[in-house]
Amino acid sequence: MTRFLLLILTLTLSLFAISNESKICQKCHPTIYNEYYASSHRKASVLNNPIHKAYWEKHPKDEKGYTCAKCHSPSDKQVMKTGILKNNDIQKHEPISCVYCHTIKEVDQGKMSNTNISSGKVKEFYTADKSKKGSKTAHFETKSSWFGLVKTVQNSPYHKINYNNENYYNGNVCMGCHSHTNNEHNFDIVMLDALINKNDKNTCISCHMPQVPGSKVTLSETKTHAYHGIAGIHHMNQEMGKYIDFNVTQNSSGFTVNVINHANHALFGQALRQGVLKASILREGKEITLEPFIFTRILAHDGKEAMPWNATGTLKDTLIYAHKEVMFKKILQKGDTLTLTLGVQLLTPKGAKELGLENDKEVSKFRILKTQKFKF
């Protein structure tokens, strides 16, 4: 009976998977699937991401068509092949599917951008588990004990599991898309591979997919799982604050804030994005709000501000690399309480207007990364 039920389950899952690769994963990984469905990976397509849509509508078109599919909807095989973007279920529900990410065998390092190389294997997925690294590819098994009276199952009845791809341990699996993206002028418009410390032990996965409470699978209970909502600007943003420190020093003309970045890439490097450092002083019951400092990178062409596809350089770069010193011309007094808040907005006000998104509240929303108080 057990074998019969498992056979029915496997056949049902297989038929269901034909129409929706990622939805099938929900059957055994409900918590992870729900996180994925709310993530920026699921919302990466033109249909789900208003900023990406606005960029694409303004982007010059040519015979290549929608070339952004390489990273924004690689699971849509038709658009990958033809460059013709269509409104379909893949674009809506799984532009970057679970299967796509878990079958990345290696990353090809390219001059203009990197490329993910798929294993091409059906129902054999890569994952990371240090306790199982070096073991054979896991297959579904039924084991008996107590003379056959007790039966237990191991691994998935739907797919094999490969624990031996180093890219899933060192975070390199993310670098097919989350690396440099050069435009036709060979200028990097994303700059996420601007490594600060090559000896840093943190990876894309350890920072942005941290272990959180909840079982990763229903077939065998686990205490934690890797967060698939992708921690960052959209989710768990204040958890990212642990990778940022503030150091305050006073001088004769005011005070300096040294923002220390423990991430292994520049903060706020994406085109038209801006970070904001807010500072306020509580003095004798009254709050003094200081002019905020803006962290951004303004792209340029021929000495004028330009959209990413036309950029050949920068007009301004105030990003946070390893650290950034910000000077405030306000003298602190004894008894003052200084509050520092570092946050980010998806687009600069000018960028939002340029893309026609100035009324989009999500675009202008101030997302807090870290707040800290200092008493003097």
pLDDT given for residue 154 in this prediction = 79
What is the average per-residue pLDDT within 7-25?
58
Per-residue pLDDT, 199? 78
Q: What is the mean pLDDT of the chain?
A: 91
Strands 141-145 and 211-213 turn out to be: unpaired
Contact status, residue 38 vs residue 235, Cβ threshold 8 Å: yes
Is the pLDDT at 11 greater than 80, yes or no?
A: no
Q: Where are the beta strands (DSSP E) in 211-273?
A: 211-213, 224-226, 244-251, 254-261
Q: What is the pLDDT of residue 150?
A: 64
Among 93-102, 135-144, 160-169, name the one with the lowest average pLDDT: 135-144
- 355 has pLDDT over 70: yes
* pLDDT at position 181: 93
- All structural domains of the chain: 2-226 (no CATH), 237-375 (2.60.40)
Q: What pLDDT score does 145 carry?
A: 65
Q: Helix (H) and strand (E) counts for the chain?
A: 11, 18
Q: For residue 160, what are the β-bridge partners?
A: 124
Which percentage of the chain shows pLDDT scores above 70? 92
pLDDT of amino acid 12: 45
Which candidate, 189, 177, 161, places its Cα nearest to that of 29? Answer: 161
Q: What is the pTM of this model?
A: 0.89
CA 262 to chain centre: 17
Adjacent-strand bridge partners of 341: 278, 371
